[in-house]
Amino acid sequence: MQFGRTTLSKFVIEQARLQNSELGALLIDVAAAVKTISAMVGKGALGGNLGALDSTNVQGEVQKKLDVLTNEAILRHCEWGGQLAGMASEEMDEPYAIPNEYPRGRYLLVFDPLDGSSNSDVNVSVGTIFSIFARPTAGDAQPGDYLRPGCEQLAAGYAIYGPSTMMVLTLGNGTHGFTLDRENGNFILTHPDIRVPEETTEFAINSSNERFWEPPVQRYVSECKAGKTGVRATDFNMRWIASMVAEVHRILIRGGIFMYPKDSKDPSKPGRLRLLYEANPMAMLIEQAGGAASTGRQRILDVQPEALHQRVPVILGSKNEVERLERYHRDYDNGSDRPFVSPLFAERSLFRDESHA
């Protein structure tokens, strides 16, 4: 393949041929949906599609107009091609059945049509996340068919709508990035075989939730913030965009670690991100790029789903940092870690220890 001249269509058709699958045609339909969404998002306020609706999705979150429109775009682009047995989306309560007038295939498409949609009103990068599974036979999908561990994904990817529109995907043979050439409408291979550096000095987490984190995460972030004066002896930078696609894209391009860990803010939720629509696809992309993805206690791709909209903690990115956090969780669980001490109560603190006065 010639760098910069390989289109996404050629790439996926060649990869599908090597795998003796029909994934190429399905991924071309997904790319067509991404182009439609890119144009829709790119119009901003001119398109009249910004703002919220008077409705919520199955997770109880207020839906943006673009959530509904982008969900519809993917359904319409992908339902007719004959490759799919069904689809499931973060924005729909139940799986979507392929209309009777279209042929059925054996693949399942699951997706988050507009990740980070809360940022759309302020013109911050948003994206689309998707993954593909296969059933043994063609035909109408059953609800249980979607409850598959991420290690069974055949392909996964995301689109990011920023200064340029990119699709990043894997078919299980590396992670590759394609940039949309708006002049001819083609996605062109611009980032072949992306690799995540094993070491990093950047971390991404919503620090406003610090008081709800488990001690292993508090320990890790405290050590990063201590910089050269702390046990890590390295200065770290913190990033937080509140758009998982944008966070993961930055990590794929230059390294880092992204954390949306388990917390006690809402005890009914074991995590914040959806396993099928967000965690699994991103975990596959990161692992195929040489990184790691974990709940803190388990490889994400090994988690057995129990529900369509199940949530899990997510820690992913540069391999050595993810492994460090997994070790901190093991130490905490078996009682061998050192206790976390808030810097407010250190020797030089805002609070004087009268016992040493």
What CATH number is given to the structural domain containing 50? 3.30.540.10
In the chain, which residue ranges form alpha helices assigned H by DSSP? 8-19, 23-42, 65-78, 215-226, 244-254, 280-288, 319-334
Phi, psi of 191 (to 5 degrees): -135, 75
In-domain check, residue 185? yes
Residues of the chain above pLDDT 70, percent? 90
In-domain check, residue 352? no
pLDDT value of residue 58: 62
Q: CB neighbours of 333 closer than 8 A, spacing ≥ 6?
A: 297
Q: CB neighbours of 49 closer than 8 A, spacing ≥ 6?
A: 40, 43, 65, 66, 69
Q: What ranges make up the beta strands (E) of 162-236?
A: 165-170, 176-181, 186-191, 202-204
In the DSSP assignment, the letter for residue 188 is E
CB 47 within 8 A of CB 39: no
Do 156 and 230 share a domain, yes or no?
A: no
Do 176 and 211 share a domain, yes or no?
A: no
Phi, psi of 147 (to 5 degrees): -85, 70
In the DSSP assignment, the letter for residue 82 is S
Q: What angle do CA 94, 278, 180 make, to 5 degrees?
A: 110
pLDDT value of residue 268: 85
pLDDT value of residue 44: 82
* Domain stop point among 135, 168, 191: 191
For residue 124, count CB atoms less than 10 angstroms from its CB and return exposed for 0-12, middle for 13-18, buried for 19 or more.
Answer: middle
Do 308 and 183 share a domain, yes or no?
A: no
For the chain, residues with pLDDT lower than 50 are: 1-4, 345-350, 352, 354-357
In-domain check, residue 91? yes
CB 8 within 8 A of CB 178: yes
Per the structure block, which two tokens stand in for 185?
Answer: 């409408």
Give the distance between the most distant pair of CA atoms in the chain.
82
Alpha-carbon separation of residue 49 from 45, 55, 343 (angstroms): 7, 15, 46
Rounded-to-integer distance, Cα 138 and Cα 105, Å:
5
Closest CA to 24 of 38, 9, 39, 34: 9
What SS3 class is residue 189?
A: strand
Do 135 and 251 share a domain, yes or no?
A: no
pLDDT value of residue 68: 93
Do 311 and 209 share a domain, yes or no?
A: yes
Tell me the residue range of the domain where 81 lies.
8-191
Residues of the chain above pLDDT 90, percent? 78
Q: How many domains does the chain have?
A: 2
Do 178 and 218 share a domain, yes or no?
A: no
In the DSSP assignment, the letter for residue 259 is E
* Domain stop point among 191, 220, 243: 191
pLDDT value of residue 61: 66
In-domain check, residue 353? no
CB 95 within 8 A of CB 87: yes
In-domain check, residue 345? no
pLDDT value of residue 123: 87
pLDDT value of residue 356: 44
